[in-house]
């Protein structure tokens, strides 16, 4: 049973503050775009790759990308809405970092498209991993 201010999931319960802190601690940039292609949420991970001003909330995602990539953004969103694609992924060199960018469609249990999740991660050091390192 959840108390006031808590959010109940199938896998547990978190307070609003705990959920915010969990999302802000994940070592990835997360941005949620709703079914109308508007930015609705982003996390505040301390080392965020793509800094976002709070004023981006409510803006169309198409207005947040360079014109040269607009046709790709539109196609990805269309493919997600038409259920033609489960993920779109890219990687770019940014300064001296390798950035892995993935977009995922989000559907209700009934299959209705409700939006898209953008996840970006600096994988520079991950790419250098060799062998294994186990917990002691």
Which domain, by its residues, includes 49?
13-127
Reported as a single tens digit per residue, the pLDDT across 86-107 is: 999 999 999 999 999 999 999 9
Flag whether pLDDT at 30 surpasses 70: yes
CATH number of the domain within which 90 lies: 3.30.450.20
125 pLDDT higher than 80: yes
Per-residue pLDDT averaged across 35-58, rounded?
Answer: 93
Under 8 Å between Cβ of 98 and 127? yes
Computed over every residue of the chain, the mean pLDDT equals 93
52-74 confidence digits (pLDDT tens)? 899 999 999 998 888 898 999 99
Residue 132 lies in a domain: no
8 assigned to some structural domain: no
Number of folded domains that form the chain: 1
For the beta carbon of residue 117, count every other beta carbon within 10 angstroms: 14
Which pTM value belongs to this model? Answer: 0.88
Per the CB < 8 A criterion, the answer to whether 100 and 123 are in contact is: yes
| pLDDT, position 1 | 53
pLDDT for residue 9 is more than 80 = yes
E strand or H helix at 94: strand 88-94
């Amino acid at each position: 049973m959840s108390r006031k201010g808590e959010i109940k999931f199938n896998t547990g319960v978190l307070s609003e503050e705990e959920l915010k802190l969990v999302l802000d601690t994940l070592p990835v940039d997360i941005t949620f775009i709703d079914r109308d292609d508007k930015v609705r949420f982003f996390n505040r991970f301390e080392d965020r790759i793509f800094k976002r001003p709070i004023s981006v909330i409510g803006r169309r995602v198409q207005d947040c990308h360079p014109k040269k990539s607009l046709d790709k953004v539109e196609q990805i969103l269309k493919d997600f809405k038409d259920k033609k694609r489960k993920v779109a992924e890219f990687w770019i060199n940014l300064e001296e970092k390798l950035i892995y960018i993935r977009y995922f469609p989000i559907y209700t249990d009934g299959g209705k498209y409700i939006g898209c999740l953008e996840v970006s991660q600096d994988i520079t050091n991950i790419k250098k991993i060799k062998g294994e390192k186990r917990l002691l």
